[in-house]
């Protein structure tokens, strides 16, 4: 009888082990599907509410502005490194029209401010410098156009995400108050889920806009430095003939 009891216990233990293995296998098989459902970005964003649409629009605007300004700054910085040397040779030879023609070949702020200075040759040097500086200020304003919008998105997107957080928490506690004694954890979790999604979305858009703004500002600063150097070189160039005439 003792042997029969031991045999029965062994059979029961084996059955329990087999059942446990089947359960683990089913869990492992279902894990990829559950992970796919859990990490579906579209479904997560959809649960964020209408504020996610606002954040989506802001992200599109930020990416568009960044791409547009980056291309503009990239094109503005493309100029031959021997540009000022060629301008100096043309001016010393008295070929002002050739110097202006050379400036028109480049779609660059440096070329445009030098062209304005060449067109003012013959007037007092103070007038020439003022004209060149005015063109430089206009070029800088053109390059910086749109950057305030990018900065606004960088600061506003996280605030919109935090607004979604507050609205989600308000929704969660409102649902709990309406449920009375029949409080379910899903009433609270759904509101918190919405709150966290909007926060993540706002931070992502804000971070992209923030880094994009600082990157463009750095490139504009480098271009402004080149413009200032070209202005100094050009004004020094205008003094050279007078010094040689002495």
Instruction: Tell me: pLDDT of 223 over 70.
Output: yes
Average pLDDT, the chain: 76
Instruction: Tell me: pLDDT of 245 over 80.
Output: no
Query: What is the reported pLDDT for 181?
Result: 66
Q: Tell me if 132 sits within 8 A of 233, measured CB to CB.
A: no
Beta bridge partners of 123: 121
Per-residue DSSP letter, 108: S
Query: What is the reported pLDDT for 125?
Result: 82
- Tokens matching residue 217: 């500002």
Cα separation, 144 vs 73, in Å, equals 10
- How far CA 98 is from CA of 2, 28, 54, 92, 165, in Å, comes to 114, 76, 53, 12, 63
Residues 113-140: b if buried by 16+ CB within 10 A, e if exposed:
bbbbbbebeeeeeeebbebbbebbeebb
- For residues 14 and 146, the model is more confident at 146
Cα separation, 244 vs 240, in Å, equals 6
- Most confident region among 56-65, 73-82, 112-121, 158-167 by mean pLDDT: 56-65
Instruction: Tell me: pLDDT of 187 over 50.
Output: yes
Cα separation, 147 vs 192, in Å, equals 34
> Helix, strand, or coil here: 123?
strand
Query: What is the reported pLDDT for 29?
Result: 46
Instruction: Tell me: pLDDT of 11 over 50.
Output: no
159 pLDDT tier (thresholds 50, 70, 90):
very high
Q: What is the mean pLDDT of residues 219-245?
A: 77
Instruction: Tell me: pLDDT of 150 over 90.
Output: yes
End-to-end CA distance of the chain: 130
44 pLDDT tier (thresholds 50, 70, 90):
low
CA angle 85, 88, 92 (to 5 degrees): 145
Cα separation, 214 vs 201, in Å, equals 20
Q: Tell me if 198 sits within 8 A of 161, measured CB to CB.
A: yes
């Amino acid at each position: 009888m003792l042997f029969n009891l031991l045999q029965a216990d062994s059979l029961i233990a084996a059955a329990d082990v087999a059942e446990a293995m089947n359960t683990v296998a089913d869990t492992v098989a279902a894990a990829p599907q559950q992970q796919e459902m859990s990490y579906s970005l579209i479904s997560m964003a959809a649960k964020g509410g209408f504020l996610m649409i606002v954040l989506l629009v802001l992200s599109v605007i930020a990416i568009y502005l960044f791409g547009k300004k980056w291309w503009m700054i990239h094109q503005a910085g493309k100029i031959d490194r021997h540009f000022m040397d060629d301008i100096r040779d043309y001016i010393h030879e008295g070929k002002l029209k050739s110097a202006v023609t050379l400036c028109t070949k480049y779609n660059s702020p440096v070329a445009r401010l030098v062209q304005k200075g060449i067109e003012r040759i013959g007037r007092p040097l103070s007038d020439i410098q003022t004209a060149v500086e005015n063109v430089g200020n206009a070029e800088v304003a053109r390059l910086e156009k749109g950057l305030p919008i990018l900065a606004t998105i960088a600061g506003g997107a996280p605030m919109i995400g935090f607004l979604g957080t507050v609205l989600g928490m308000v929704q969660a506690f409102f649902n709990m108050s309406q449920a009375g004694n029949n409080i379910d954890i899903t009433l609270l979790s759904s509101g918190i889920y919405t709150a966290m999604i909007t926060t993540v979305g706002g931070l992502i858009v804000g971070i992209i806009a923030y880094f994009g703004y600082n990157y463009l500002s750095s490139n504009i600063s480098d271009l402004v430095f080149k413009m200032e150097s070209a202005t100094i070189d050009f004004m020094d160039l205008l003094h050279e003939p007078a010094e040689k005439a002495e």
